[in-house]
Amino acid sequence: MKLYRNILLATFVALLLSACNEGGDASFKDGETIISLVGVDCVEPAVLANYETLLSGDTIVKDDDNATVIIYHDVAGTKKICLVNNGSSAHIVR
Does pLDDT of 60 surpass 90? Answer: yes
Does pLDDT of 55 surpass 80? Answer: yes
Domain residue ranges of the chain, discontinuous segments joined by +: 2-93
Band the pLDDT of 50: cuts 50, 70, 90: confident
Q: How far apart are CA 77 and CA 71, in angstroms?
A: 12
The predicted structure's pLDDT at residue 54: 93
The predicted structure's pLDDT at residue 12: 64
- Answer yes or no: pTM beyond 0.85: no
SS3 for the chain is CHHHHHHHHHHHHHHHHHCCCCCCCCCCCCCCCEEEECCECCCCCCCHHHCEEECCCCEEEECCCCCCEEEEECCCCCEEEEEECCCCCEEEEC
The predicted structure's pLDDT at residue 21: 55
